[in-house]
A and B are shown apart, each in its own frame.
Chain A
Amino acid sequence: MLELKNISKKYKQFSLKEINLRVENGDYFVLLGNSGSGKSLLLELIAGLIQPKEGEIYLNGDNLTKKPIQKRQIGLVFQDFALFPHKTVQENILYALNVSGEGNTEKKAKLNDIAVRMNIQHLLNRMPGTLSGGESQRVALARTLVKKPKVLLLDEPLSSLDVQLRSGLRALLKEINKKGQTIIHVTHDYDEAIALGKKVAVIDDGKIIQSGTIQSVFKNPESEFVANFVGMKNFFKSILYQNKERTFAKVNGETEICLLSDDEEGEGYVMIRDEDILIYDKRPESSAMNNFEGIVKEAIPARLGMEVAIQASLLFFVLITHESYERMELEQGKKVWISFKASAVRFLKT
């Protein structure tokens, strides 16, 4: 378990304030924040590239705070990969093993093993300058993982990749985590957090604002910042399946939400923005595929308009104008229908 206790640090224009964090062994932990929030700084602190002004870092009970970088057993993959440009891919990967002075046979076995896992066997004799972004990322991962670090730190690992390459790398990262590798992944992209993370911490202005499981943070944002950044109240864990050439997400084993998706069947999250849901007095006659009957549970004034919670087979949140709210007389307990289009539903595979 990696534990950060009351970490504070000021570095150039960034600062971290009293960071407390626990990452269990085997976790996929996502640090989510905008640029300048201090998330990369936190990663460098864990790696040991900079020292905290206050606070302590523990790894499996061992105090790392004053330990040199070389002895921390923490791997860091930089956003720009930081491959050594004067060494071949193979030399880059062997670099870490040469440092620890392992035997040639052992080194070769480890090199081959990691090259197969990262699917880079064909790149071993290439120079880093000739690799694509996706290839560089896999080489950087191989170079770090070959040392079998206790914690793998990833700084925006997908940000410099094309959209097509991202899903491949996501699958690879998930696979690495499945084999037991603890991962801390820094990103500004909540799609990534949902797709990969088991747990997430939202960081803003050097402070951790909220942390917990993906579902708890995304569904119950505790502050306006988190709500604006990741808040997605209509956010449900679901299973995607196809039926009669249509795609559905089944939530809680019963509610079926129709959607458009070319993802393969499997687990994930469905999300519907609260402004994309319409409220009707009676069952609507429209092209919308998703129509549910429910009762108004409560209505809360929001920054813009009113947020109405409607209990159907799931609890949905709908954002409407004050005018509509008054015209429809949506008092508590009123029976209504809600409706949204299949195209308004987003699915993120996990």
Chain B
Amino acid sequence: MKYSLFQNITILFSGLIVLFIIAPLFSMFIQTGKSEFLEIIVDEDVLNSIWLTLSTAFMTTIIFAFLSIPFAYLMARNDFPFKGVLQGIIDLPVVIPHSAAGIALLGFVSRDSALGKFANIFGLDFIGSSLGIGIAMAFVSLPFFVNAARDGFYNVPRRLEQAAYTLGASPFRTFITISLPLAWRNILSGFIMMFARGMSEFGAVVIVAYHPMITPVLIYEYFGAFGLKYARPVSVIFVTISLLVFIILRSLSKDRDIVRA
């Protein structure tokens, strides 16, 4: 088959863009020696940080996703004054520098703040704890979930909800049995995106909670203290695990695919 000049240029540019993403990751993998890798894989600090990162990101995503589902539904189903402004606020964490987000959060949850003092009553501390890590992760990753869930609800035909009402279902029952299952794919996809974004967060977390160390902070620490040689194997492990988790969650979301009318 003969390609036109335009098609050739398109293919060339596409190849370059894909290479731009693949090449650094690939070189990192091949440059990591077997012995360095084996040494790091048994390093307790590394293993603990990976577990902390995954578990905190997961718990944060579950809690905040659950809490933001009603908001996503509200945004999809209702028109009200300043809705555009509200949408802009939701998207804010995506556009501001994450270190700035960390600074903002730090002021908000520090021990001297109202929230910090309130949490202190229950013996909780946001700073330097997994709670603070979770807050920082949620702040920067929540827009991914809210927007995906909102699109999911928006795509559920209103007719189906109305049909449920005429069959006697209450708005809550209709939400649980019709809207939620039909928006499920988008919700799950938003969940995965939020989780992925949360566990890879560095800027906001490093300011709110340097310790206990999540893996992105640990990689930075190893790089600063021991150099590239030590930071690379940790990166390899974390990227591999991230990819595996991502692939597993994606395949789960595909199983949930439903037949649409």
Residues of A within 8 A of B164 (CB): 84, 95
Would you list which residues of chain B between 164 and 222 have a CB under 8 Å from chain A? 164-170, 173, 177-178, 181-182
Decide if the interface of chain B is mainly helix, strand, loop or mixed. Answer: helix
Question: Is B258 among interface residues, defined by CB-CB distance under 8 A?
Answer: yes
Contact in complex: A69, B160 (CB < 8 Å)? no
Residue from A48, A127, A130, A147 in contact with B167 in the complex, judged by beta carbons closer than 8 Å? A147
Q: How many A-B residue pairs have CB under 8 A?
A: 65
Residues of B within 8 A of A129 (CB): 259-261
Question: 20 more A-B contacts (CB under 8 A) besides A76-B163, A84-B160, A130-B259?
Answer: A48-B166, A49-B165, A69-B165, A69-B166, A70-B168, A74-B166, A76-B166, A78-B162, A82-B159, A85-B160, A85-B182, A85-B261, A86-B181, A86-B259, A99-B168, A99-B169, A99-B173, A129-B260, A143-B167, A144-B166
In the bound complex, CA of A80 to CA of B181 (Å)? 20
Contact in complex: B168, A84 (CB < 8 Å)? no
Question: Is A100 among interface residues, defined by CB-CB distance under 8 A?
Answer: yes
Question: Is A96 among interface residues, defined by CB-CB distance under 8 A?
Answer: yes
Residues of B within 8 A of A47 (CB): 166
Question: Is B157 among interface residues, defined by CB-CB distance under 8 A?
Answer: yes
Contact in complex: A85, B168 (CB < 8 Å)? no
Instruction: Write out, one digit per residue, whether chain A residues 78-91 have a CB within 8 A of any chain B CB (1) or not (0).
Output: 10101111100000
In chain A, what residue has the closest Cβ to B177? A95
Residues of A within 8 A of B177 (CB): 95
Residues of B bordering A, CB below 8 Å: 157, 159-160, 162-170, 173, 177-178, 181-182, 258-261
| CB proximity of A38 to chain B, nearest CB, Å | 18
Would you list which residues of chain A between 197 and 212 have a CB under 8 Å from chain B? none
Contact in complex: A100, B168 (CB < 8 Å)? yes
In the bound complex, CA of A127 to CA of B261 (Å)? 9
Residues of B within 8 A of A100 (CB): 168
Question: Is A75 among interface residues, defined by CB-CB distance under 8 A?
Answer: yes
In the bound complex, CA of A48 to CA of B260 (Å)? 27
Contact in complex: A144, B260 (CB < 8 Å)? no
Contact in complex: B157, A82 (CB < 8 Å)? yes
CB within 8 Å for A84 and B163 given contacts A95-B169, A96-B168, A147-B168? yes
In the bound complex, CA of A70 to CA of B163 (Å)? 10
Question: Is A128 among interface residues, defined by CB-CB distance under 8 A?
Answer: yes
Across chains A and B, which 10 residue pairs bring their CB atoms closest together, nearest first? A85-B261, A82-B163, A96-B167, A99-B168, A129-B259, A69-B165, A82-B159, A86-B258, A76-B166, A127-B259
Q: Which of A74, A76, A80, A86: most chain B CB closer than 10 A? A: A86
Q: Which of B169, B173, B261: most chain A CB closer than 10 A? A: B261
Residues of A bordering B, CB below 8 Å: 47-49, 69-70, 74-76, 78, 80, 82-86, 95-96, 99-100, 127-130, 143-144, 147
Residues of A within 8 A of B182 (CB): 85-86
In the bound complex, CA of A48 to CA of B170 (Å)? 13
CB within 8 Å for A144 and B167 given contacts A84-B160, A86-B258, A86-B259? yes
Residues of B within 8 A of A84 (CB): 160, 163-164, 178
Residues of B within 8 A of A75 (CB): 166
Contact in complex: A128, B261 (CB < 8 Å)? yes
In the bound complex, CA of A74 to CA of B163 (Å)? 11
| CB proximity of B260 to chain A, nearest CB, Å | 5
In the bound complex, CA of A69 to CA of B165 (Å)? 6
In chain A, what residue has the closest Cβ to B258? A86
Residue from A70, A127, A143, A144 in contact with B165 in the complex, judged by beta carbons closer than 8 Å? A70
Residue from A82, A86, A95, A128 in contact with B162 in the complex, judged by beta carbons closer than 8 Å? A82
Residues of A within 8 A of B165 (CB): 48-49, 69-70
Residues of A within 8 A of B259 (CB): 85-86, 127-130
In the bound complex, CA of A171 to CA of B245 (Å)? 57
Residues of B within 8 A of A85 (CB): 160, 182, 258-261
Contact in complex: A70, B160 (CB < 8 Å)? no
| CB proximity of A136 to chain B, nearest CB, Å | 8
| CB proximity of B165 to chain A, nearest CB, Å | 4
In the bound complex, CA of A345 to CA of B165 (Å)? 46
In chain B, what residue has the closest Cβ to A128? B261
In the bound complex, CA of A265 to CA of B182 (Å)? 49
Contact in complex: A83, B261 (CB < 8 Å)? yes
CB within 8 Å for A80 and B167 given contacts A85-B182, A86-B181, A128-B261? no
Residue from B163, B181, B258 in contact with A78 in the complex, judged by beta carbons closer than 8 Å? B163
In the bound complex, CA of A80 to CA of B177 (Å)? 20
Contact in complex: B167, A95 (CB < 8 Å)? yes
CB within 8 Å for A80 and B159 given contacts A85-B260, A86-B181, A86-B259? yes
| CB proximity of A337 to chain B, nearest CB, Å | 57
5 contacts between A and B (CB under 8 A): A69-B165, A75-B166, A78-B163, A86-B258, A100-B168
In the bound complex, CA of A76 to CA of B182 (Å)? 22
Residues of A within 8 A of B159 (CB): 78, 80, 82
| CB proximity of B228 to chain A, nearest CB, Å | 51
In the bound complex, CA of A129 to CA of B258 (Å)? 10
| CB proximity of A137 to chain B, nearest CB, Å | 13
In the bound complex, CA of A143 to CA of B178 (Å)? 15
Residues of B within 8 A of A95 (CB): 164, 167, 169, 177
